[in-house]
Amino acid sequence: MTVSATGNRRALLDETPVVLHQRIRRDLVARIAQGEWVVGKKIPSRQALAREYGVDLGTIQPAIASLMGSGLLHAIDRKGTYVTRQVQPADMGTPAAVLEAPTVYRSSVDSEVSLPFAVLPVHLGILTFFDFDPTGDVTPYRDNWSMRVITHLEKAVSEYGGTTSYLDVLAKSAELPNIQDDVSTLRAQGANILVLVDVYGFTSDRMHGVVSYLDTIDMPVVIVVTELTFSAHPLVTYDQRYAGFRAMKHLITCGYQDMLFYSPFTANWVRERIEGAHAGVPYTDLQRVRFQVFPTDTTLSDLAFFGQEQQTLPPQHRDALAEFVTAGSTTKLQAIIAPNDVIAARIYTALADIGLQAGRDYGLIGFDDEPVARQHGITTLRPPWEELGELAARLAVRQLHGNPVSLRMCLRSHVIARRTTHRGV
């Protein structure tokens, strides 16, 4: 039983001997089932619910946490808590009759989705680009970053009651892929919304051509990228500068004071991570914390660097990094920031071969949370791949229902602390 949303719901809480927060949880589920808050709708704040039920925040929090744990609610930092799927019998712990209550359609004065996703059929077309690999081996790419985003795209759309179609395009030359045919293929399969996933930084001139075409089509589109581009459609990305900033903050917190960002090649994403790391040094700590970039004169691109057969550090770079580690003072602890985990693993191995152990003799941090980082125990910044997929799905469906969305959504990486930044390990 639920009571009027305009009245104090305390009376409901006295009807059964169940623990108080469990009664509130059950009532919240019933209100969702009856359509008071539909899928995609933001529920009232915890403070507002506490006032409505006449209880304190400590009673509301467990009820909300339980529904988030079951996947019925999802909280977005500084945005609020949202209904993510339809209620299922297991959510109630009561007869399923309450789930059969008619859905109540409500107008909304805010920008949230105001109708259940089931009102309009959702068929999401997912298009992914993989840039040309001279070796012909694209399996590692298809199993890694893009797949993490796509898996959560598909999961989110399925929870909304929709379906997906997937098409990946391997660019076999420097020419622009036939994007018109790719979109037509997805549309023929029933797609009425489209998400383009490009987390590997598809060559900028070709990406510009792709985006220019997508800006002309008459269907909702969301673009998931790691390097910002210009588009009339919403872009979902993550903040490379913040990743660098967070890496620096983590090292300072761990007690390191002499930092070196190893940058053996040039790329926009490396430049942004360096800028973020530099910004992470507090102005008041400029005398205490030292930050440098090595080498300073490289013109090698990231593709050229990784295209080399050599899978170790260049000897001159290894020697320079070793000198940085061993030449430091006893009062200033040294740490190396690698541009990504692959390079961090090369540093780890090269310096271990000459007796320098990461975590004991120096700190080491990378980016991207690659399997090789876990293998060596390298601290890393993990991109929000899963969150990117879930957010892209939400934005696409909101567009389908005619709701306004932000054109730029930038998420943040998470520190995964391992032994290479814990001194004495």
3-class SS letters over 307-333: HCCCCCCCHHHHHHHHHHHHCCCCCCC
Range 185-208 average pLDDT:
80
Token pair belonging to 383: 């991109």
Question: 3-state class of 280 per DSSP?
Answer: coil
Whether pLDDT at 92 is above 80: no
Q: pLDDT band for 177, please (50, 70, 90 cuts).
A: low
Note the pLDDT of residue 247: 96
Give residue for tokens 């008459």. 218
- The whole-number pLDDT of residue 313 equals 87
Q: Which of 171-185, 205-219, 398-412 has the lowest mean pLDDT?
A: 171-185
Q: What secondary structure letter does DSSP report for 294?
A: E
pLDDT computed for residue 319 by the predictor: 95
Better pLDDT: 75 or 260: 260
Q: Is the dihedral of CA 92, 94, 96, 99 positive or negative?
A: negative
Alpha-carbon distance of 336 to 416, in angstroms, equals 16
pLDDT at 113 over 90: no
Taking Cα atoms as reference points, which of 379, 423, 424 lies closest to residue 256? 423
Give yes or no for residue 83 having a pLDDT over 50.
Answer: yes
pLDDT at 6: 41
CATH of domain 10-114: 1.10.10.10
Helix (H, G, I), strand (E, B) or coil at 170: strand
d(CA 33, CA 8): 20
Same fold, 10-114 and 241-383+415-421: no
And the tokens for 414? 């998470």
Separation of alpha carbons 334 and 401, rounded Å:
53
Average predicted confidence (pLDDT) for the chain: 79
Rounded alpha-carbon distances, angstroms, from residue 187 to 142, 152, 159, 178: 23, 21, 21, 15
* Residue of 194 and 268 predicted with greater confidence: 194
Percent of the chain at pLDDT exceeding 70: 76
Alpha-carbon torsion (184, 188, 193, 195), positive or negative: negative
Interval 84-111 mean pLDDT = 46
Q: Contact 358/325 with Cβ under 8 angstroms?
A: no
Distance of alpha carbon 248 from alpha carbon 373, whole angstroms: 18
In angstroms, the CA 44 to CA 304 distance is 52
Domain ranges of the chain: 10-114, 120-233, 241-383+415-421
At 234, is the secondary structure helix, strand, or coil? Answer: coil
Q: What's the pLDDT at 309?
A: 53
415 Cβ contact partners less than 8 Å away, ≥ 6 residues apart: 246, 247, 250, 379, 380, 381, 382
Q: Among residues of the chain, what percentage have pLDDT more than 90?
A: 37
pLDDT score for 111:
36
Q: Could you give the CA distance from residue 253 to residue 248 in angstroms, rounded to a whole number?
A: 9
With cut-offs at 50, 70 and 90, classify the pLDDT of residue 422: confident
Amino acid at residue number 324: F
Q: Is the pLDDT of residue 100 over 50?
A: no
Q: Is the pLDDT of residue 106 over 90?
A: no
Mean pLDDT of 7-14: 52
pLDDT on residue 404: 74
**Which option is the CATH number for 241-383+415-421: 1.10.287.470, 3.40.50.2300, 1.20.120.80, 3.20.20.70?**
3.40.50.2300
Distances (CA, A) of 268 to 205, 271, 302: 14, 5, 10
Predicted local distance difference test score (pLDDT) of residue 52: 84
Domain at 120-233: CATH architecture? 3-Layer(aba) Sandwich (3.40)
For 320-350, the pLDDT digits (tens) are: 999 999 986 666 789 999 999 999 999 999 9
Model pLDDT, residue 358: 96
- Render pLDDT for 223-263 as a digit per residue (tens, 0 to 9): 998 876 677 888 898 889 999 999 999 999 999 999 999 99
Cβ-based burial of 342 (10 A; exposed 0-12, middle 13-18, buried ≥19)? middle
How far out from the chain centre does Cα 301 lie? 26
Count of CB atoms situated within 10 Å of the CB of 304:
11
Cα radius of gyration (the chain): 25
Q: Is the pLDDT of residue 218 over 80?
A: yes
Between 61-70, 77-86, 172-181, 232-241, the lowest mean confidence (pLDDT) is in: 172-181
Residue 312's pLDDT is what?
80
| 351 pLDDT higher than 50 | yes
Q: At what angle are helices 57-69 and 20-33 packed, to 10 degrees?
A: 50
Pairwise CA distance, residues 270 & 338, whole Å: 9
Per-residue model confidence (pLDDT) at position 36: 84
Residue 116: per-residue pLDDT: 38
- Given its phi and psi angles, is residue 60 left (phi above 0), alpha (psi -120 to 50 degrees) or beta? alpha
CA–CA separation, 378 vs 343, rounded Å?
A: 11
Peptide bond into 295 cis (omega under 30): yes
Residue 298 has pLDDT above 50, yes or no: yes
